[in-house]
Structure 1
Amino acid sequence: MNLTVKSKQKMDGVYMLSPSGRLDTNTFPILEDRVDVVLQEKPHTLVFDMEMLDYISSMGVRVIAKAQKTMKAYNGRVILLNLQPQIQKVFDIIKALPSQQVFSTMEELDDYLDRMQRQFTG
C-alpha cells in the first residue's frame, strides 16, 4: 500500500497533515518532504491527523520526532490526532523505551513494531 499525505492550513499558524496508508521505510520520504514544506511556514502548531494511517515504522516515527524537534526550537508544538489502536501502540512502546539502545538494528526495531501492530489489526 502506498502513502498519500494531504496538508492544509487550518488557521493562521496551524497546519494539518493527514497521512493515509502505510508510513514505512519506503514511503516516509513522502511525509518528510511535506513536513519540510510546512515547516518553512514556521507554524506554531502542526497537527498530524492519523485517522487514515494503517501502519507506521520507526522511519515514520522518526519523521514525527524530527518535526517535534524543529517545532520545539521556536516554541511550536506537534499534536497527534485520531491514532488507530495499532499506531497508538507504537507510540506507547516508543514512550516506554528507555533512553539506551534496546534494539541492535533499525530492522530489529521495525520487526518488533510490525509484530505489535499486527496484534491489533488481526
Structure 2
Amino acid sequence: MKLAITSQQKMDGVYIITPVGRLDTNTYPAMEERVDLILHEKPHTLVFDMEQLNYISSMGVRVIAKAQKAMKPYYGKVVLLNLQPQIQKVFDIIKALPAQQVFSSMNELDDYLDRMQRQVTR
C-alpha cells in the first residue's frame, strides 16, 4: 500500500502533516522529504495527524523522532493527533513521546495550542 501525504499551515508557526496509508520502509522517504521541507520554515509546532495512518514501522517512528530532534534547538514541539489503536500501541511500546504531546481530537489540540499561545502573550 502507498502513502499519501498532505500538509498545511494551520496558523503562524503551526503545520499539520497528514499521512494516509502505511508509513514503512518503502514509504518513509516521502514523509521524511515533506517533513524536511516544513522544518526549513522553523515551525514552533509540527502536528502529525495520524487518523488515516494504518501502519507505522520503525522507519516511520524514526522520521518523527528526527523531526523532534530538529526542532529541539529552537524549542519547537512535535505532537501526534488522532492515533489509531495500533499506532498508539507502537508509541506506547517504545515510549517515544510524552503523553501530553498526544491528542485525541483537533479540538483538544486547538485547546492546547490556545493555552500555549496565551502563556507566551502574558
Q: TM-score, normalised by structure 2?
A: 0.77
Distance in 2 (alpha carbons) for counterparts of 1:13 and 1:84: 26
Distance in 1 (alpha carbons) for counterparts of 2:74 and 2:49: 22
Unpaired stretches in structure 2, ≥5 consecutive residues: 97-122
Distance in 2 (alpha carbons) for counterparts of 1:65 and 1:56: 13
Measure how far apart 1:66 and its partner are. 0.2
Choose 1 or 2 for highest CA Rg. Answer: 1
Q: Is the aligned partner of 1:5 residue 2:9? A: no
RMSD: 0.9
Letter in 2 for 1:89: K
Unpaired stretches in structure 1, ≥5 consecutive residues: 97-122
Distance in 1 (alpha carbons) for counterparts of 2:46 and 2:54: 20
Alignment of 1:70-109 (within 5 A): 70-95=70-95
What does the per-residue CA deviation read over 1:55-86, in whole Å, with 9 as the maximum and x for residues that have no partner? 00000000000000011111000000000000
Q: TM-score, normalised by structure 1?
A: 0.77
Aligned residue number for residue 62 of structure 1: 62
Q: Is the aligned partner of 1:27 residue 2:57? A: no
Q: Is the aligned partner of 1:37 residue 2:37? A: yes
What does the per-residue CA deviation read over 1:80-118, in whole Å, with 9 as the maximum and x for residues that have no partner? 00000000000000118xxxxxxxxxxxxxxxxxxxxxx
Distance in 1 (alpha carbons) for counterparts of 2:4 and 2:35: 13
Distance in 2 (alpha carbons) for counterparts of 1:7 and 1:73: 23
Structure 1's consecutive aligned runs of 4 or more residues displaced over 6 angstroms after TM superposition are none
